[in-house]
Amino acid sequence: MPGDTAKARTAVEAAQRLGLPNDPWITYSRALLDLFDGAFHEAATRLSSESWEALETQLYFVPKALLQAQIYGLMNQPQLERSHYDSARKMVEARVQQRPEEAMVHSSLGIAYAGLGRKQDAIREGKAGVNFMPVSKDAYRGFYRVEELARIYVMVGNYEAAISQPEYLMSIPGDLGVGGLRLDPAWKPLRNHPRFQELLRRYAG
């Protein structure tokens, strides 16, 4: 059923059994599923024992500290949240200096800035991620830059702009679905907004 994490957990566990026990993607995916299920302590514990510093794929650049910061925010531990956002900021700023046209790094930096309350910097970096990799240039990778811009808008409280992004993304091919919008706590601030509720109804079938 939409919004159920059981099948996703089965797939991740199968990948782990196939020889990827230490792959950062496995830990990252399992931590996300813990977040979707509201198991924040489990997610934090899972990540704390990992040695990798960042997950890097063709779609994402996610410092472990960035994900930990989001978890600590959900656990209402503001000091740990802020310190991890700042650690992530330092890592990603260094990466931007090395690769200034790498779109996914700008998106990641925007999220770190948003977590630190640097609203204008966050939006600037989120938009830079979209501009360096627009959907018109690469429909696959560009999709995720728009999604991360939406997350930035949510974090800085710009809900109207935030909702416009999934409205667009749900109208084109991609893997953002109603289940994720309902389960992912990143979207929680939007869930009572009439436009967001209408978006969920429109694509629920």
Give pLDDT tens digits for 86-134: 999 999 999 999 999 999 999 999 999 999 999 999 999 999 999 999 9
Whole-structure pTM over 0.85, yes or no? yes
Here the CATH number for the domain that contains residue 59 is: 1.25.40
Has residue 112 been placed in a domain?
A: yes
> Where residue 8 falls among pLDDT bands split at 50, 70, 90?
low
What are the tens digits of pLDDT across the range 171-200? 999 889 999 999 999 999 999 999 999 999
Cα–Cα–Cα angle for 175, 178, 184, rounded to 5 degrees: 85
User: What is the pLDDT of the chain when averaged over all its residues?
Assistant: 91
Has residue 129 been placed in a domain?
A: yes
Has residue 92 been placed in a domain?
A: yes
Mean pLDDT of 37-64: 92
> Where residue 1 falls among pLDDT bands split at 50, 70, 90?
very low
Q: How many domains does the chain have?
A: 1
pLDDT score for 2: 42
- Domain carrying residue 147: 13-203
Has residue 5 been placed in a domain?
A: no
How far apart, in Å, are the Cα atoms of 79 and each of 3, 32, 83, 147, 199? 31, 22, 6, 27, 35
Write the DSSP assignment of 142-170 as a string of letters. Answer: HHHHHHHHHHHHHHTT-HHHHHHHHHHHT
Has residue 1 been placed in a domain?
A: no
Has residue 147 been placed in a domain?
A: yes
